[in-house]
Structure formats: structure tokens, C-alpha cells
């Protein structure tokens, strides 16, 4: 890189650091005109446009440099990651599949796109290829973490548990790993292990509503209905947007503790949110029948 180019790029980055974005933009545009085959000004300006929330301008620049250098692996990879940052998973995976290199990071990116697209089978395939390709240790443990989540989706619980245990090396203090492990043990009907894991997660993040929801589900399976009710209530208290399913689980716990009127109220709330919630409709019918029977026996 010649001295003038290096000096101008340094000046532009200093302007960026000071928040003088328009000055930086002008320098990068000049550099692109003077050095049309050098990638760095394009990429730096694209980054700056992203920071300025000018996505279309950033993408236009990247398409220009890709047209000029269609075989530039680094630019193509950068463009694909740009698409990923903007949640354009289909477009990103198409770009990534065009790169004819056998590299672990590339396999990871393709796998992650498929994961976000909900194609767990293809995501799993590419993640496993990434591990085989001798990826960076930190990246490998992130892949283990994602493979554990995918294992749950594919109902491959033993495989999911294996990857979750491997991920623990890097994710030992991450609440979501303990949620994943709790879910796996739950599906394996190992409810005591599931309970131990969910409380490790709660200890790490007592503000995460999903942890309390799963604590409630686990306690239902352990026939500790009072505890289940307590955690479903905590889940609803913490949650910003309550669903029909949330009310159903709380109603079910109340039904099992014998709090029939509360159960009926919560079943009604579940039905109000989703009139087609068949489990709530059945629960309401059961609660009504139990209330009627209780009234009849009290006469």
C-alpha cells in the first residue's frame, strides 16, 4: 500500500473516531476514485454507511467492488456477512455457496445461515464440516453450542447432550447453556437433572423469563404443583408480552393444586388470548366440572 493511500485511510478513520462521518465519507470516496482496484476504501466506507444506517449505499459499494473483483474471496465473504447482519439469510447463503474454498469459517457461516432459516438438517451438516476442518477453538465451542440446540429441534437428545457437554468448556457461565441442558434432560425424562440445570441457569440470570417457564414445566413433571405454580407466576410477572400458553400453564398448575376458581380464571384468560387453544378449552371444562362437583358435595 502506498504512503498516500495509507495516510488518507488513517485520516478517515480518525475522523470516524471523532464522529466526523461526512469528512470520512469524502475521503473514502476520493480514494475509491483514485484507487478503484483497492478494496479497503470500499469496505471501510461500507462499514461507515452501515453505522450511519444507510444500508442501500453500503450494499451498492460492495456490489461495485465485487463486480470489479468477482473472485476476491475476502470481499465476497465480507458481503455475505453484511447480508447476514441485515438478516438476509437466503441471499447470504447463496453468496457463501458460490465461494469454492474448503475453510472451516465458511462452513460455519453457511451452517449459521441455514440455522437461522430453520433448516436444522443442513445447518447440522455444515457445522459438522466446520468442526472437521480444524476450526478455531472458540468457534468450535460456539458450534457445539448451536449443535446442542439443533439436536433438541431434531429430537436427537443424546446427541444434543453430547454437544452441550462439549460446549460447557467455553459456555460454563452462560445461562442459555443450562437452559439447553435442562430441556434435553426434560425430554429424556430425567427431571431431577433437568431441575438442577435450570436452577444453575436462574442463578446466572434471574431476569430471563424462559428459565422460570421451564422451571414450572419441570416441577409439573416432578408433581410439585405448588412450586410449578410459583414459577409460572414468576414467569408471567417478568414477561412483557404474555401469551395464551403462559396462562394455560399457570391454570394447569392451579388446577393441580386444587385452586379451582383461579384455574378457571386463568383458563379463561388463555382462551381470551387464543380462542382456539384446545388444551385451555378442555382445562376450562374440567375446572367447571370439578367446581360443580364440589358445590354438589357441599350441599
Please report how many Cα atoms fall inside a 13 Å half-sphere around the Cα of residue 233, on the Cβ side.
10
- Asked if residue 155 belongs to a domain, the reply is yes
Residue 284 in domain: yes
Q: Considering 206, 223, 240, which residue would you say is the last residue of a domain?
A: 240
List of the chain residues with pLDDT < 50: 299
Q: Check if the beta carbon of residue 15 is closer than 8 Å to that of residue 21.
A: yes
Q: What is the pTM for the complete model shown?
A: 0.87
Domain tally for the chain? 4
Lookup: cell for 70:
468477482
Give the burial class of 240: count Cβ atoms within 10 A of its Cβ; 0-12 exposed, 13-18 middle, 19 or more buried: exposed
Rounded Cα distance between 48 and 285, Å, is: 60
In a domain, 218, yes or no: yes
Residue 178 lies in a domain: no
Residues 228 and 163 in one domain: no
Say yes or no: 252 and 297 in one domain: yes
**82 & 161 share domain:** yes
Contacts of 3 (CB under 8 A, 6+ apart): none
pLDDT at 133: 65
Distance CA 101, CA 204 (A): 40
pLDDT tens column, 127-182: 999 887 666 788 899 999 999 999 999 999 999 999 999 999 999 999 999 999 99
Q: What pLDDT was estimated at residue 223? A: 96
| Pairwise CA distance, residues 23 & 164, whole Å | 48
Amino acid at each position: 500500500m502506498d504512503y498516500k493511500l495509507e495516510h488518507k485511510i488513517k485520516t478517515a478513520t480518525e475522523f470516524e473516531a471523532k464522529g466526523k462521518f461526512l469528512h470520512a465519507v469524502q475521503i473514502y470516496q476520493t480514494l475509491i476514485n483514485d484507487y478503484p482496484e483497492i478494496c479497503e476504501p470500499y469496505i471501510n466506507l461500507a462499514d461507515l454507511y452501515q453505522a450511519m444506517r444507510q444500508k442501500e449505499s453500503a450494499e451498492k459499494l460492495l456490489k461495485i467492488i465485487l463486480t470489479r473483483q468477482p473472485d476476491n474471496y475476502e470481499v465476497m465473504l465480507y458481503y455475505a456477512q453484511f447480508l447476514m447482519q441485515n438478516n438476509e439469510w437466503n441471499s447470504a447463503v447463496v453468496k457463501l455457496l458460490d465461494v469454492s474454498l474448503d475453510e472451516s469459517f465458511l462452513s460455519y457461516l453457511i451452517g449459521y445461515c441455514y440455522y437461522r432459516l430453520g433448516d436444522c438438517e443442513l445447518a447440522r451438516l455444515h457445522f459438522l464440516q466446520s468442526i472437521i476442518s480444524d476450526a478455531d477453538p472458540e468457534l468450535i465451542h460456539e458450534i457445539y453450542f448451536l449443535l446442542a440446540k439443533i439436536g433438541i429441534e431434531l429430537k436427537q437428545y443424546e446427541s444434543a447432550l453430547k454437544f452441550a457437554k462439549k460446549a460447557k468448556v467455553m459456555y460454563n457461565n452462560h445461562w442459555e447453556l443450562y437452559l439447553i441442558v435442562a430441556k434435553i434432560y426434560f425430554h429424556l425424562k430425567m427431571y431431577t437433572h433437568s431441575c438442577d440445570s435450570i436452577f444453575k441457569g436462574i442463578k446466572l440470570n434471574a431476569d430471563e423469563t424462559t428459565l422460570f417457564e421451564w422451571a414450572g414445566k419441570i416441577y409439573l413433571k416432578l408433581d410439585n404443583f405448588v412450586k410449578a405454580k410459583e414459577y409460572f407466576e414468576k414467569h408471567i410477572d417478568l414477561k412483557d408480552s404474555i401469551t395464551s400458553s403462559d396462562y394455560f400453564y399457570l391454570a394447569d398448575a392451579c388446577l393441580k393444586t386444587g385452586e379451582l376458581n383461579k384455574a378457571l380464571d386463568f383458563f379463561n384468560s388463555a382462551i381470551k388470548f387464543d380462542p382456539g387453544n384446545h388444551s385451555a378449552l378442555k382445562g376450562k371444562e374440567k375446572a367447571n366440572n370439578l367446581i360443580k362437583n364440589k358445590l354438589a358435595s357441599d350441599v
